[in-house]
């Protein structure tokens, strides 16, 4: 099937392509009679505007890049859905790439997006990213960047975040309010800001409640995986026979904790309470169901695109750009893996 063009419509009607273009755009210097003829023929031929040509004229691609660090997280799939929905509503295509929690991959994927002439980039930093020159070069080159979830305070751009400190504080406080006194924390790798802030929130809750901080109760899960949670449980119990709660950095880790505790015949939550983070779908189907912190990924994705879209409009209009930080609210979701208040 041939592609219907402005030239085809013009040839059929015996007018110029400029007249057809103006008629479709409702220019006042084209008669209503000509407009009706052009629109009628365009509709009957199922004419579709050439978005690529329009983009070239407008110096825009109407494409944005989205880089996510991992695909195993239910949270990031929700972000992806939020970004795609918001982008589609505004006529944008989303190219989604994976950094695999790798600094080198992150740099390479950014270069790939630039080769595709994207208008802007949404980025959640990889766990291994500690140098931000590649991101600052984008910003200096007038390519708008919005960081979401895993961010760096060293990058001067707009961001969409949750208050990880407060969220972790609330999760730990909930455990304390239900009678827990010796709470182990399985944290992520030492570098990402999210890991640092959740650890700080955990520690602050202990301090506020006059519970001495014990660094031996903090365990690092490098891969943030089910297996890490599963494997760390025995070490936690062997190190601390009287531990009465485990607060995990993610729901996936916490699920591994739950399975291992069940195999060890340790009753949750009567003997040990378990708290996750993110509110993945799996937290509703574990046995027992998992208490967690709700982290609204879909809303974060929509907000991230909206920030980027606003910046694109500001740049297009040559207006002064002021970066924004949007904070998404979180809440503790109590389920059966923790005691009741």
Which pLDDT score, from 0 to 100, does residue 287 have?
93
Give the mean model confidence (pLDDT) for residues 9-31. 84
Which CATH architecture does the domain made up of 164-295 adopt? 3-Layer(aba) Sandwich (3.40)
Whose tokens are 């929700």? That residue is 78
Going 135 to 139 to 145 to 148, the CA torsion angle's sign is positive
Give the mean model confidence (pLDDT) for residues 168-188. 97
- pLDDT exceeds 70 at position 290: yes
CA distance 301 to 278: 14
Q: Edge to edge, what strands does the sheet with 183-187 contain?
A: 218-220, 183-187, 245-248, 273-275
Which pLDDT score, from 0 to 100, does residue 140 have?
84
When the pLDDT of each residue in the chain is averaged and rounded to a whole number, the result is 90
Out of 51-65, 156-170, 274-288, least confident range: 51-65
Q: Give the DSSP letter string of 245-311.
A: EEEESSHHHHHHHHHHHHHTT--TTTT-EEE-SB--GGGGTSSSPPBEEE--HHHHHHHHHHHHHHH
Residues 48-76 pLDDT 10s: 765 445 544 456 789 999 999 987 667 88
- pLDDT exceeds 80 at position 224: no
At residue 235, the 3 state secondary structure works out as helix
Which pLDDT score, from 0 to 100, does residue 1 have?
37
> Highest mean pLDDT: which of 31-35, 192-196, 254-258?
254-258
Residues 298-340 pLDDT 10s: 999 999 999 999 999 998 888 888 999 999 999 999 999 999 9
Give the mean model confidence (pLDDT) for residues 268-288. 94
Share of the chain above pLDDT 70, in %: 95
More confident of the two residues 32 and 141: 32
Residues forming CATH 3.40.50.2300 domain(s) in the chain: 57-162+297-329, 164-295
CA distance 55 to 124: 27
Residue 279: pLDDT band with limits 50, 70, 90? very high
Which pLDDT score, from 0 to 100, does residue 52 have?
44
- pLDDT exceeds 80 at position 160: yes
Which pLDDT score, from 0 to 100, does residue 57 have?
46
Which pLDDT score, from 0 to 100, does residue 213 have?
97
Residue 188: pLDDT band with limits 50, 70, 90? confident
Instruction: Give me the residues paired with residue 245 across strands.
Output: 183, 273
**Structure tokens given for 156:** 């001067």
> Are 283 and 303 spatial neighbours (Cβ–Cβ below 8 Å)?
no
Which pLDDT score, from 0 to 100, does residue 49 have?
65
**Structure tokens given for 214:** 């014990």
Check if CATH label 3.40.1190.20 holds for domain 57-162+297-329: no
């Amino acid at each position: 099937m041939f592609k219907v063009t402005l030239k085809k419509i013009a040839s059929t009607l015996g007018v110029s392509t400029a007249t057809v273009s103006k008629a479709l755009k409702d220019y006042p210097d084209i008669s209503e009679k000509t407009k009706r003829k052009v629109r009628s023929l365009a509709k009957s031929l199922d004419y579709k505007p050439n978005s690529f040509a329009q983009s070239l004229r407008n110096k825009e691609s109407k494409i944005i890049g989205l880089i996510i660090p991992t695909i195993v997280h239910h949270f990031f799939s929700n972000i992806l859905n939020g970004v795609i929905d918001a982008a589609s509503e505004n006529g944008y295509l989303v190219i989604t790439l994976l950094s695999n929690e790798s600094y080198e991959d992150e740099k390479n994927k950014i270069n790939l997006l630039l080769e595709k002439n994207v208008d802007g980039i949404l980025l959640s930093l990889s766990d291994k990213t500690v140098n931000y020159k590649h991101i600052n070069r984008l910003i200096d080159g007038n390519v708008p960047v919005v960081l979401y979830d895993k961010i760096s305070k060293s990058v001067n751009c707009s961001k969409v975040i949750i208050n990880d400190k407060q969220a972790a504080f609330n999760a730990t406080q909930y455990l304390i309010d239900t009678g827990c006194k010796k709470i182990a924390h399985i944290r992520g790798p030492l570098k990402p800001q999210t890991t640092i802030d959740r650890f700080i929130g955990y520690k602050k809750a202990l301090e506020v409640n006059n519970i001495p901080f014990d660094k031996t109760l903090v365990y690092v899960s490098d891969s943030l995986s089910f297996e890490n949670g599963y494997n760390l449980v025995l070490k936690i119990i062997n190190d601390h026979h009287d531990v009465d709660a485990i607060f995990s950095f993610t729901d996936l880790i916490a699920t591994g904790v739950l399975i291992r505790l069940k195999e060890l015949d340790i009753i949750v939550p009567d003997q040990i309470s378990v708290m996750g983070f993110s509110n993945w779908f799996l937290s509703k189907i574990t046995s027992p169901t998992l208490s967690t912190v709700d982290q609204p990924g879909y809303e974060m994705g929509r907000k991230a695109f909206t920030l980027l879209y606003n910046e694109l409009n500001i740049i297009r209009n040559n207006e002064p750009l002021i970066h924004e930080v949007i904070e998404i609210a979180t809440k503790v979701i109590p389920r059966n893996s923790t005691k009741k208040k």
